[in-house]
Amino acid sequence: MSKAVQIFSGGMPPDMLESFYKNTLLPSIRKDIQDRHKLNVHYYQALKRALFKPGPFFKGLIFPLAKDATAQEAVIVGSILNKVLTPNT
């Protein structure tokens, strides 16, 4: 999944990328967290890579996740946001 995100984020239009994140990446991440109670390192890297295009990332992952996220999902995704989108102040 990490390589797929890397390839797709470089060449897909934003609307298709948003759809990929929403319909493929998000369910995979949720299932991994539910099964393992943590996130696989490859999914973690995929999420970090997905943040290079913030529009599709927020529309395809964060907003759908915010509707019904568990606390564990919120903590994991929040940690990625904290590490990648740190302010320069």
Q: What's the rounded Cα separation, in Å, for the pair 53 and 9?
A: 7
- Closest by CA position to 58, among listed 86, 34, 22, 84: 22
> What would the pLDDT profile of 29-41 be if each residue is shown by its tens digit?
999 999 999 999 9
> What would the pLDDT profile of 46-89 be if each residue is shown by its tens digit?
999 998 888 999 999 999 999 999 999 999 999 988 888 655 54
pTM exceeds cut of 0.75:
yes
Q: What is the pLDDT of residue 35?
A: 95
C-alpha angle with apex 16: 71 to 26, nearest 5 degrees?
A: 20
Cβ atoms of residues 48 and 80 within 8 Å: yes
Q: What is the pLDDT of residue 87?
A: 55
Q: What's the rounded Cα separation, in Å, for the pair 55 and 72?
A: 24
Q: What is the pLDDT of residue 89?
A: 46
Cβ atoms of residues 7 and 15 within 8 Å: no
